[in-house]
Amino acid sequence: MKDLVLELPTDVASIAGAVDYVMERCPVSEAAARRLNLNFRVGLTEALANAMRYGNGDDPSKHVRVEVTLVGGCLQATVRDQGSGFDPAAVPDPTRPENVARPCGRGLFLMRQLLDEVLFNELGNEVTLVLRLDSGSGFEGGLSA
């Protein structure tokens, strides 16, 4: 079941509002709040930025689709762009000494560090983020937008 579906234009200025919209519909226990507000927020923001900037190439005619689901204490977000995909294994580790001073290349690393699972489809234009929350959490309604 898809609890929340968003179709976003390729506009990085829209990311903060979209992430806030999702966050507001994910009330969780106090214990899980930091994991939601830091880990999930960072992961979703980075996934959207990558999809718009690198996937869709900042092309305003293209869109990014987001599906957020909560099942069995697992919060899952799938972000799909309209690009030709990429090889996530080819992205260098930004924490290596030769890369630390580079201005870019940290988005995927942060996703992998902060989420429990980061899964790509074969093409590389769809990423699924999984964050395990404690039980008893849920969306405020099951809205589609």
Partner 1 sequence: MSFQVSKNDDVTLIEVEGQLIVGNRQDLKNQVMEQLEGGDLKFVIDFANTGYIDSSGLGVLVSLSKKIREQGGELRLSSLNDDLRTLFELTKLDTLFKITNDKEEALEGF
For partner 1, which is the closer residue by CB, 106 or 132? 106
Give the type of residue at 27.
P
CB of 88 to partner 1, least distance (A): 15
| Residue 31 contacts partner 1 per CB under 8 A | no
* String of DSSP letters for 32-61: HHHIIIIIIHHHHHHHHHHIIIIISTT-TT
Residue 31's H or E segment, with its range, is: helix 30-34
Site for partner 1 in 98-127 (CB under 8 A): 100-104, 106-107, 109-110, 113-114
| Residue 137 contacts partner 1 per CB under 8 A | no
| Residue 1 contacts partner 1 per CB under 8 A | no
Cα dihedral sign, 39-41-42-47: positive
Interface stretch with partner 1, choices 78-86, 96-104, 123-131, 137-145 (CB under 8 A):
96-104
Determine the Cα–Cα distance for residues 33 and 25; give it in Å rounded to an integer.
Answer: 13
With both helix axes pointing from N to C terminus, report the angle between 41-50 and 107-114 in degrees, rounded to the nearest 10.
150
Contact set with partner 1 (CB under 8 A)? 12-16, 34, 37-38, 41-42, 45-46, 49, 53, 94-95, 100-104, 106-107, 109-110, 113-114
